[in-house]
Amino acid sequence: MTATLYCFGESGNAYKAALTMILAGYDWQPRFVDFFGGEARSPAFRAINEMGEVPVLVEGDLTLSQSGAIQYHVVKATGKLGGQPGDAEEILRWILWDNHKMSSQVGTQRFLMNFLPEDKRPAEVIGYFAGRLKAAFKTLDGHLQGRDWIVGDSVTIADTACCSYLYYPEPFGFDRAEWPNIDRWLGNIAALPGWKHPYDMMPGNPSDRAKA
């Protein structure tokens, strides 16, 4: 059965789920959610996910939201990207770190710097997040010193979680050249069979809205 992932290209959290499924060989198809048009807040969408967020995975009787939960479902279903026996807690540690320290803040910073009208972009808030993100990038770059992957000797869902927002082209205070270990690691992931940029993997990107 082909699973449906409710998603849109600009969502780094949806990219975590989509990239995980691609690398694990999971059978899925995207279903575009017009987030900027308000679809995620509509009654019809909230009937699918009461949280009003993407990603949402629908497969038969299963409806599952939150990227980390979807990633773990894919690991359980395929036996791939889960690391070696004993790695589960370390993988979960990095997924939770990413959710709290990096992705949530990158997502907010990227939205404030790119998707709000220029006259409504709060400089003080953007400055605050810049400092927080620099600390997160320093943590990740330091951890990747001498490592090809975040946990163990192969790609896991820790990698597909933490990398997600770092491929986006819009400015949010991240320059790969300043973080050589992150840069090398992102290259490792992009070299994996099936990898695609988020705008090529899922429908919906800023250029589409610019044409509207």
Number of domains composing the chain: 2
Segment 191-203 shows an average pLDDT of: 97
Q: Residue 102: which CATH number?
A: 1.20.1050.10
Query: 120 in helix, strand or coil?
Result: helix
Task: Please give the pLDDT value at position 1.
Answer: 85
Task: Please give the pLDDT value at position 196.
Answer: 97
Task: Give me the domain span that covers residue 136.
Answer: 88-190
Class of residue 56 by CB neighbours under 10 A (exposed 0-12, middle 13-18, buried 19+) = buried
Q: Does residue 59 have a pLDDT over 70?
A: yes
Task: Please give the pLDDT value at position 208.
Answer: 78
Per-residue pLDDT tens over the stretch 161-171: 999 999 999 99
Task: Tell if the pTM clears 0.85, that is, is over it.
Answer: yes
Q: Write a three-state SS string for 50-64.
A: CCCCCCEEEECCEEE
Same domain, 60 and 110: no
Same domain, 183 and 95: yes
Confidence of residue 207 (pLDDT cuts 50, 70, 90): confident
Contacts of 23 (CB under 8 A, 6+ apart): 80, 81, 155, 160, 192, 194, 195
Confidence of residue 68 (pLDDT cuts 50, 70, 90): very high
- Specify the pairing of strand 28-32 against strand 56-59: unpaired
Same domain, 98 and 163: yes
Determine contact, residues 113/170, Cβ cutoff 8 Å.
yes
Q: CB neighbours (10 Å) of residue 85?
A: 6
Q: Does residue 211 have a pLDDT over 80?
A: no
Same domain, 99 and 145: yes
Q: How far is CA 73 from the centre of its chain?
A: 16
Q: Does residue 212 have a pLDDT over 90?
A: no
